[in-house]
């Protein structure tokens, strides 16, 4: 074939359908030294000469039903896109619990040790139930890595 400056040869986009790649390989100008890389993930394995397809490996793209969906790909210029503040643990607390505890304190519904006299569902949770809930589906204690004690020294303080 001779010496060629492969860097200056414009191969082009290496993506394409399987049929396109096959026709390219059969093309007389195809340079066999530079392979046709595919970005497609395999859907099976080669066993000798044949290729065995595993149905579970074929990607299943799930698209929700978008009829009557008001959300579209673009945003109208008319919309006033406001900047929202950061959603911190403090904001979550004020949304979820702040009101109740303020009301209880104002109406003297807290006993001597500051425990509520009329507890809500979340307040009347016992330690055993909490222990079990943390091990059921829906808990996230197993997904996150527990930071080592030396990593907790640089915790950001919530102002």
**Which residues contact another protein (rule: CB under 8 A)?**
7-8, 10-11, 14, 37, 70-82, 87, 91-92, 95-97, 122, 132, 135-140
Of residues 53 and 132, the one with the C-beta less far from another protein:
132
The CB density around residue 69, as the number of other CB atoms within 10 Å, is 8
Residues in contact with 120: Cβ distance below 8 Å, sequence separation at least 6, in sequence order: 100
Taking the complex as a whole, the smallest distance from the CB of residue 147 to another protein amounts, in Å, to 18
Of residues 20 and 37, the one with the C-beta less far from another protein:
37
Of residues 25 and 96, the one with the C-beta less far from another protein:
96
For residue 52, which phi and psi values (nearest 5 degrees)?
-95, 125
Taking the complex as a whole, the smallest distance from the CB of residue 135 to another protein amounts, in Å, to 4
Task: Quote the DSSP letter at residue 151.
Answer: G
Q: Residue 116 and residue 109: Cα distance in Å, rounded? A: 6
């Amino acid at each position: 074939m001779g010496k060629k400056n492969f860097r200056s040869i414009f191969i082009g986009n290496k993506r394409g359908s399987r049929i396109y790649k096959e026709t390219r390989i059969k093309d007389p100008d195809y340079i066999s030294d530079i392979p046709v890389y595919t970005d497609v993930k395999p859907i099976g394995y080669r066993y000798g000469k044949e290729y065995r397809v595993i149905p579970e490996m074929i990607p299943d793209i799930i698209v929700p039903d978008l009829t009557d969906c008001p959300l579209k790909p673009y945003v109208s210029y008319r919309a006033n896109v406001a900047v929202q503040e950061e959603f911190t643990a403090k904001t979550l607390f004020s949304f979820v619990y702040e009101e109740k505890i303020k009301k209880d304190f104002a109406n003297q519904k807290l006993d001597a040790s500051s425990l509520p006299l009329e507890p809500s569902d979340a307040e009347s949770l016992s330690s055993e139930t909490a222990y079990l809930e943390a091990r059921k589906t829906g808990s996230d204690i197993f997904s996150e890595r527990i930071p080592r004690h030396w990593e907790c020294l640089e915790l950001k303080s919530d102002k």
